[in-house]
Each structure stands twice: as structure tokens, then as C-alpha cells.
Structure 1
Amino acid sequence: MLRGILTVGGWTLVSRLLGFARDMLIAAFVGTGLIADAFFVALKLPNLFRRLFGEGAFNAAFVPAFSGLLQAEGKQAAKQFAEEAFAVMAFWLGIMTILGEIFMPYLMLVLAPGFSATPAKFQLAVDLSRITFPYLVLICLAALVSGVLNGMEKFTAASASYVLFNIVSIACMLWMTPYVPTIGHALAWGVSLSGVAQLGLLLLALRRGGMTLSIPRPRLTPQMRLLMRRMAPGLVGAGVTQLNLAVDVIIASLLPAGTVSVLYFADRVQQLPLGVIGTAVGTALLPLLSRQVRAGEAAASLDTLNRAIEYALFLTLPAALALIVCAYPIILVLFGHGAFSLESARLSSQALAAYAVGLPAFVLVKVLAPAFFARGDTSTPVKVGMACVGLNLTLNVAFMVPLAHIGPPLATSVAAISNVIGLATILLRRAHLKPDHQLIRRLIGMIGASLVMTGGLILVRIHLFAVAPHGWPRYASLAALIVTGLLGYAVAVPVLGAYNLRDIKRVMSRRRLQSVNKSATSPVITTET
């Protein structure tokens, strides 16, 4: 499992860093004005589907079924299942895309109702959304191919494909802008063209992996009906975080101009640890848990879930506290250029701190949900998730006036924390989650080490960011904060018992053992994927 986490996490990190480069260019060229607001809303619809399918509901339903067929009935049966799913998805998503193109103005009234007060912004958002909407089909089909590769325990290409999204977007922004009405149009075309590149790369990787998908006539076979039944509730259960973020956009469109952009830049920063850690752990965890549950290895599945929680919180806890303390320096250094003003940086940093409050919960949702999906239970996360969506909407409305731009991210964080509490409580009652002594001991150590790190960050920030520095001192000050955080946490971790060198050596030795003997099975050795 650890090898899969590192592979997915490594490529996700590269993608997020390139994403920051893209967002820095957007901030410098566009700022937080009308074009930025319109483009970020246009990006929200296909991006919502990307996160739901690529990181959530589809994998939750497809990967366990594909992995089970691959193990029980062989490659040909799994290949036929994947081809049937590809044909059905292409057909229905194609229809959905056509309807979306036709009725986009009505969709925009739902997603960004506040834009209707400014006709120019509303029309621009509709135009850009029509350009980006075909990405829905492309990325969902890419998610299916990624699921096949993940089911075959080939994580590299599936994770690397997201890098193309940012590369193509940057290229279009820099070179297409002179030939289209606005830079927003260039960015929108970059989204759809990146979908073509991603799907092409994944199909090539699948072919090199020894499997080529043909496209049969779409038919609702018994396997497809079962897949769709499991997938439909999973769209909500696994994508509650994304639905909550969509609610944030709806509320933000009703707030002062620029709020959508302010929240976007804040969300992009907190998506770095969320994507690198949460997505990586969830992606690598699901196939392993599915095999262990299918094989009746109850003790192994409990150990796997404990270690996944451990791996996730080891980096998420300090990341959350660091983002809360250093929100303003981070936003200022990353985006404080060109059209992105100091006031925009201040507002966005406040939203980032509110998002960071729920960061550990965002990640834990991605870790706990596979414990249900691996057992074929997609309905329970839906029930918990829908309750949290309702809570998020209620809190958004309550916070909208007194907290303005801080309200939506804070409401989302509270909803995510409630989601984790609900999922964990149910897993504990069903005996599918039993925190062991190692997890509890290390969690206490992680919390202590994170607090030590936070104290150091506060002291350094007081001295270096008493006023907003300019030029290279700004970058040097942020670098000093990063070094302080890393060193403080690294020193405190072994002292407070979270991890030590012996633990790391043991994990690495397990990885070497598994690479030598892939057929070995043990309830303790859970790092194969």
C-alpha cells in the first residue's frame, strides 16, 4: 500500500506544483475580477465531475468489481467488464454533455445565481462553460481507464495524466490568448484540450500494460446495472466534499464581486495536501481493502485501515496547522503579483485558514469511505454525506452575512468534520475500525509534534512578516517559515514518539520483502499496492 501511496502522491505533487504555476499566472494576468470569476465557475462543473469520478464514486464502484473479476475469473472477464462500462459511460455522458451545452444558461442560474445581476459576467460564464463542458466526457472516460490501471496495480500513468491538465492549460493561456476574445476563453479551451491529452495518454499506457479496450454497443448488462447501482449513491457519498465546495460557489456568487476568485485561490492551496495525501491514500487503499475483504482477512483489513489513517494524519495534521499560521505569507508569495492585490491576498488567506481547519477531516473522509466501498456498501456514506451537505448549506446561509468570504470555507470544514465523525462512529459499531495501540500512540505524538512546529512558525512569522515584504525578501521569508516548520516537526516527531528511524527502516524493509516475494501474504505486511 505504501508504494502505491508514494507513487500516486508523488505524481499528484508534481501536478499540484504545476497547478500552482498556472494559478500564479492567472492571478498575475487576471486577478480576482470579472473574467476570473466567470472562468472559475466555468471550471467548477467539469472539475466537480473530475473529482467525483477520478477520485471518488467511480473508483469506489468500479475498482473493487474489476479487481475481483481480474483475480477470480481472469484478464478476459475483467477486460469485457471494462469495455462494457466504457461504452455505457460514453453513451450517457455524451447525452449529458449535449443537454448541458443546450441548457447551460439554466445550469448557470443554479451554480452561480448571483451572476445574473451582472449580465456581462453571466454571459461570459455561460460561454466559457460551454467550452469547458466536453471535458466532462473526456475526464470521466479517463477515470475509467485509470480505474483499470489501478485495478492492475499500475498507478504511475493514472497519476501522471493529471500533469497534462496543467501543462496544456498553461500553454493555451500563453499562446492562444491573442487569438480568442479574452484570456478566459484561452483557459477554457485549455481545459477541454487537456482532456483529450489525458485520455490519449491513459489509453496508450493501458495498451502498453497488455490490455486494449474495444468499444462494444452500449448495453445494460447485469454487471452494468450492478455497477450503476453502486456508483449512483457513491457519487454523493464519496463526493460530499466536492458537493460542499459547489455549495460554497453558489453562496459566493451572492457575495461581493471577486469572492468566487478569492475562494478559488484559497481552495487551490489547501488542495495540495488534500490531493497529495488524501487522494493518494484513498486510491492505493481501495484495491488492497477490497482484496482483503473478499479473502475474509478481517485482521489484515483492520491493520490496513489503521496504517492508512496513520500515514494520512502524519502529514495532514502539521499541514493544517501550518496553513492556518502561514496562510497570508503563502497566498502573498504564490499569487501576490500583477493584478492580484494585497487586499485580495488578505481576503484569500482568511479563507485558506478556514479551509485548513477541516483539512484533516477532508483527508480522513477519503480514507474512511473505502472501508465501506470495499464491502460493497455505498449507501451508508450517502446517508451521512447528505446530512453533511444539508449542514453545510445551513451553515453557509447562517455565516454568509456576519463572516462574508470566510463563511463558505468554514461551513465546509465543519461539515467535513461532522462527516468523519459519522463515518468513524458507524465503522466502530460494525467492528470495521478498531484503532490499535500503535495508531493511538503515534497520533498523540503527531499532535504534540505539530504543536511544537506551530509554536516555532508563530515566532518566525512575527519577526519576518510584521510588514508585507517585497521582492526577494518575501520569498526568503516564506522559505524560512518552511524550513522552520520542516525542521521543527522532524525533530519533534521522534522525541514525542510519533515515528522513529527504526519504524521507517521497518517500513522500507517490508517494501523490499514484498518486491522479492509478491505472493507472500501477512496481516502485518500491507504495503504491496
Structure 2
Amino acid sequence: MRGLVAKISPKITPMAKHLLKSGVIVSAMTLISRVLGLVREVVLANLLGAGMGADLFFVAQKIPNFLRRLFAEGAFAQAFVPVFVEYQLKRSQEEVLQLLNKVAGTLGLIVLGLTVLVLIAAPWVTTVYAPGFRDDPVKFELAVYMLRITFPYLLFISLTALAGSVLNTRNRFAVPAITPVFLNVCLIIAGVWVAPELDRQAVAMAWAVLIAGVVQLAFNLPFLWREGLLPRPVWGWKDEGVQRILKLMLPAMFGVSITQISLMLDVIFLSFLEEGSVSWLYYADRLLEFPLGLFGIAIATVILPSLSRQHSSEDAASFQSTIDWALRFLTLIGLPAMIGLGMLADGLALTLFQHGATTVQDAANIADALIFYSLGLMSFMSIKVLATGFFGRQDTKTPVKFALIAVAFNMVANAILIWPLQYLGLALATTLSSTLNATLLFRMLYKRGIYRPQAGWGSWLLKVGTACSAMAVVIYLVHPGNEAWAIADHWQRILFTGQTVAAGGASYFAMLWLMGMRISQLRGYTPSP
């Protein structure tokens, strides 16, 4: 077995070790955020349940949050980082600072203008995203009011995304990765101590979102100052570097955020379904976001600066190795996570969300949605890495073509599947469209010779697949059964979750070890001679 490992595992590089270390740092910080995020969802489920208040808050939060992921964290980061890295490698420090100042000023003013526009046009924006709410004047009026509270969050989080992108190019990954914690903390504080004392609890949570945006931006500023990169914003629309970033951003807005586009399209359909449908899919999506953010987004964040440097240095071999390392890592984590989420969906939904205003039936509906979402977990993760392979080369046009195809497919699938499956049809459509997008991205990377799977993938998949099978058997044997989970009290549910996850995880990694998998194999690869 060791001889086989030696044949399939090329030499470990310093860059690969750096990627693993950075990936661990980002994943650790993200883990803290995701754990608090789950606490936040438990608080929201207990406070708002799955009724009108919850639906209104989630829609009011989804609109700026969708634009945040699509525009600030998605398109902006993918367009800004490659150009900024190139400036750091090939331009003077003065030119680097000038670009940063002009990007900060241009981005800030554009988003400020968008924010003012949406505040004025809030009734029309709400109609577009949740047309079904217009049937209830009280519900619609409250949705408009809450959108006007939450939308300015986009301005603060866009500037926070700029700060995080700058820090990432300096290999300072921990601060941007821990920043989302403050959103969770603000919502938890509001949900536990503020909202219960008010008549309009959902409105209090909307204010917490806005406050969180201010706190997140303020947290990043001292670290930029320490790096000597605290911007002094100036308008720079005509600047060559700003124009390059803007041109890259437009297609990147679709290429990197296909999942978010699909989820927002779901809201339009969901507004016509029974009350609670928005909330059921929201809670299921939050559970899916745990492994997706912990590994998929974290790895894509770490490899983007490296891919940008390798492309600028014309190091095609290292470029391929970086993508290969990322895909192996995602396979190692994503496949067991997909199986685990599917098998434990009911238990997780009951343990985390069936409290207060959330009923057992609500938890069952959340679990059903999670099963459909979990089928696409590997696709969701792979999109992050495969799209980054194009963005690192400053190619944002190719991913957008595939994203548009996937979005069109998603809309058609929504229209077809919503009738027989209701809200579950939307979850399945999102999974199918993301799988299509990932397939198209991989195929084009391969066709152009940008990425070719390196030696050892067959053995790697055999080991991971065998370990996943062992884990599934152990979970099946240890699982107490959904009925036992439903009648158990809160602490018993936590015990069931802990022992099942621990047993499944231990069996997975034990089987990997028995088959010869070692931590050194996760540190990356150089091309085979």
C-alpha cells in the first residue's frame, strides 16, 4: 500500500503546505462562524417559527444578502483579487495604493447610489422578489418597511468585502474569515434579549442585520491600517485598473453565484405556496451552508490569490496542481458530508429547529428540503473551485455562459417541479441546475487544457468511496430512528446527534487510515514527471 501511495503522491511543495495551512485557518474561523450561525437559526426558529414573521424577515434579509453574495463577496472578490495581485507583483507601491483608493471610492459611491434607489423603490423591489405578498396588504407593507431597514447592510458589507479581499492578497485570511461572526452575534443578541420584549419581533431582527453591517466594517479597518493599506476613497471610474475590475465583475456576477441566483428565483415561486414554505427552504439552506462555507467557499477563497499569482507568473503546472489539490480536498470532505446530511436530515432538523414556534411538522418539512439540497452539495462546492480556475486567469466570460445556461435550466425546472413536489421541487431544481453548471465548468477547463486530473484519482476515489460506505453503515446502525428522535427531549436529541455524528466521523477517518490515507496526502501535489 505504501508503494502505491508513493507512486500516486508526487512531491509536496511549499506552496501546497501553505495552501493547507491557510485552508485550515479559514476553515477554523469559518467553523466558529457556522456554529454561531446554527445558534442564530435556533434562536430565529424559537422566536419566529415558520409563520408570517419568519417569512417576512427572511425575504427582507434575502434581498440584500443575495446582492451581497452576488455582487460584494462573489463578483467583486473574483474580479478584484487577480487584478490587485497583478499590481502587487508588477507595479509600484504607489500605484497599488492609488488603485485601492479609486476602487474603494468607486465601489462605495456605486453601492450607495444603488442603496438609495432601492430605498425609494422598495415597494416595486418587494413585488419583484415576492409578488405573492401583494395579496395581503398588511404583509406587503411590513415587508417593504423591513426591506428599507435591511438593505443598507449591502453598503457596509460591500466595503467589508473590499477590506477582506485586500487582506486575503496579503495572506491574512483569518480576519475576513472571522468577520461573519459579528452578524451572528448581533442577531443572537437581538433574538434573545431585544426582540422578545417588542411587539414586532421580526422588525427588531431586521435592525440587527443593519447594525451588524456597521460592526463588520469597523472590525476590518484596524487590520488594513496595520498592513498600510487603509484606503482613502476617491472617485476613479476612468482609471485603467478600475475599468478592468468592472469589466471582470459583470460576468463574474453570474459565474460565481449560480446557487444564489437559483435560491432567489425560488423566493418568487415560494411566495405563491403555502405559508411557511420560505422558512422551510431557508432553514434547510442554512444547514447546507455549514459544510459549503466551511470547506467549499473557504478553499476557493484560499486558492484564488495563489491561482492569480501562478497565472501572472505563467506557471501552468502549479496552476493545475492547485486546482487538483482543491478538488481532492473537497471530495474528501464533501462526499461524507453529503451522505451524512441526507441520512441525518430529520434528526438535525428536530434537534436544531423544533423549539418554540417551530412545530414537529415544520422540522419534517425542513428535513425533506435538506435531503434534496444535500444531493447537490458536491456540485455546490465544485462550482466554487472550478469557477475560481477561470477567475484566477481573469476570464469571467466563460463561467457566465454556463451560469446563464444553468439559470435558464433552473427556471424551467422550477416551473415543472413545483406542481408535483411543491417547495421540494424548487430544492431539487436548484440541485440539478448546479450540477449542470459544475459539469460545464469542468468540461471547459479540461477541453482548454487548463486543468487535467493528475495521477492517483482512481485510488483516491476508491479510498474515499469505501470510507463513505463504512460511515453510512455505522450511521445506519447507531441511528436511533426518526420516531425516537421526535419524542426525545432537547438534551436527548443533542446526545443522539453527537453520538451519531461522532460514530460516523470516526468510522470514516478510521477506514481512510486503514486504507493508507495520510495527512501528508492532503498537502497538495506537483505534476507527475
Contact map agreement 1:88 1:218 (CA 8 A) in 2: yes
Which residue number in structure 2 is paired with residue 394 of structure 1?
A: 412
Q: Does 1:439 align with 2:432?
A: no
Q: Does 1:104 align with 2:122?
A: yes
1:105-504 alignment, distance < 5 Å: 105-177=123-195, 181-461=199-479, 463=481, 465-466=483-484, 468-471=486-489, 472-497=491-516, 499-500=517-518, 503=521
2:67 to 49, 53, 61: 49
- 1:57: Cα distance to partner? 1.2
- CA–CA distance in 2 between the matches of 1:69 and 1:501? 35
- 1:125: Cα distance to partner? 1.3
- CA–CA distance in 1 between the matches of 2:93 and 2:178? 24
Unaligned runs of 5+ in 1: 511-521
- 1:76: Cα distance to partner? 2.5
Contact map agreement 2:280 2:362 (CA 8 A) in 1: yes
Moved over 3 A (4+): 178-181, 462-467, 501-504, 522-525
Contact map agreement 1:389 1:415 (CA 8 A) in 2: yes
Q: Does 1:28 align with 2:46?
A: yes
Q: In terms of mean alpha carbon deviation, does 212-221 or 457-466 score higher?
A: 457-466
- CA–CA distance in 1 between the matches of 2:224 and 2:485? 53
Contact map agreement 2:259 2:380 (CA 8 A) in 1: yes
- 1:496: Cα distance to partner? 4.0
Contact map agreement 2:485 2:493 (CA 8 A) in 1: no
Q: In terms of mean alpha carbon deviation, does 130-139 or 153-162 score higher?
A: 153-162
Unaligned runs of 5+ in 2: 1-18
Contact map agreement 2:46 2:355 (CA 8 A) in 1: yes
Contact map agreement 1:115 1:121 (CA 8 A) in 2: yes
- CA–CA distance in 2 between the matches of 1:225 and 1:283? 23
- CA–CA distance in 2 between the matches of 1:464 and 1:124? 37
3-state secondary structure, aligned to 2:235: coil
What is the letter of the counterpart of residue 399 of structure 1? L
- CA–CA distance in 2 between the matches of 1:337 and 1:250? 28
Contact map agreement 2:380 2:434 (CA 8 A) in 1: yes
Report how many aligned residue pairs link the two structures: 509
Q: In terms of mean alpha carbon deviation, does 217-226 or 258-267 score higher?
A: 217-226
3-state secondary structure, aligned to 2:214: helix
What is the letter of the counterpart of residue 8 of structure 1? V
- 1:403: Cα distance to partner? 0.5
Q: In terms of mean alpha carbon deviation, does 485-494 or 354-363 score higher?
A: 485-494
3-state secondary structure, aligned to 1:212: coil
What is the letter of the counterpart of residue 189 of structure 2? A
What is the letter of the counterpart of residue 475 of structure 1? I
3-state secondary structure, aligned to 2:179: helix
- 1:133: Cα distance to partner? 0.3
Q: In terms of mean alpha carbon deviation, does 160-169 or 460-469 score higher?
A: 460-469
- 1:409: Cα distance to partner? 0.9
CA deviation map 1:167-186 (0-9, x unaligned) = 11222233432675411111
- CA–CA distance in 1 between the matches of 2:409 and 2:38? 31
3-state secondary structure, aligned to 1:56: helix
Q: In terms of mean alpha carbon deviation, does 3-12 or 359-368 score higher?
A: 3-12
- 1:124: Cα distance to partner? 1.5
What is the letter of the counterpart of residue 286 of structure 2? R
Which residue number in structure 2 is paired with residue 70 of structure 1?
A: 88
- 1:438: Cα distance to partner? 2.4
3-state secondary structure, aligned to 1:468: helix
CA deviation map 1:383-418 (0-9, x unaligned) = 000100011111111111110121111110011110
Contact map agreement 1:4 1:280 (CA 8 A) in 2: no
What is the letter of the counterpart of residue 360 of structure 1? M
Q: In terms of mean alpha carbon deviation, does 118-127 or 345-354 score higher?
A: 118-127
Contact map agreement 1:35 1:184 (CA 8 A) in 2: yes
Contact map agreement 2:454 2:527 (CA 8 A) in 1: no
What is the letter of the counterpart of residue 424 of structure 1? F
Which residue number in structure 2 is paired with residue 519 of structure 1?
A: none
3-state secondary structure, aligned to 1:35: helix
Contact map agreement 1:49 1:140 (CA 8 A) in 2: no
Q: Does 1:81 align with 2:92?
A: no
What is the letter of the counterpart of residue 166 of structure 1? N
What is the letter of the counterpart of residue 102 of structure 1? I
What is the letter of the counterpart of residue 123 of structure 2? P
CA RMSD of aligned residues (A): 1.8
CA deviation map 1:279-338 (0-9, x unaligned) = 111000111011111111111111111001011121111001110111000010011111
What is the letter of the counterpart of residue 470 of structure 1? A
What is the letter of the counterpart of residue 121 of structure 2? F
- CA–CA distance in 2 between the matches of 1:465 and 1:457? 16
- CA–CA distance in 2 between the matches of 1:359 and 1:18? 21
Contact map agreement 2:58 2:282 (CA 8 A) in 1: yes
Alignment identity in percent?
34
Q: TM-score under structure 2 normalisation?
A: 0.93
Contact map agreement 2:311 2:393 (CA 8 A) in 1: yes
3-state secondary structure, aligned to 2:234: coil
- CA–CA distance in 1 between the matches of 2:295 and 2:520? 23
- 1:211: Cα distance to partner? 2.1
- 1:462: Cα distance to partner? 5.2
Contact map agreement 1:335 1:345 (CA 8 A) in 2: yes
- 1:114: Cα distance to partner? 1.4
Which residue number in structure 2 is paired with residue 518 of structure 1?
A: none
CA deviation map 1:204-225 (0-9, x unaligned) = 1111222221122343322212
- CA–CA distance in 1 between the matches of 2:22 and 2:93? 21
Q: In terms of mean alpha carbon deviation, does 253-262 or 473-482 score higher?
A: 473-482
Q: TM-score under structure 1 normalisation?
A: 0.93
Contact map agreement 2:467 2:508 (CA 8 A) in 1: yes
Q: 1:28 to 1:39 in 2, by over 3 A?
A: same
Contact map agreement 1:238 1:366 (CA 8 A) in 2: yes
- CA–CA distance in 2 between the matches of 1:200 and 1:248? 33
Q: 1:122 to 1:76 in 2, by over 3 A?
A: same
Contact map agreement 1:448 1:496 (CA 8 A) in 2: no
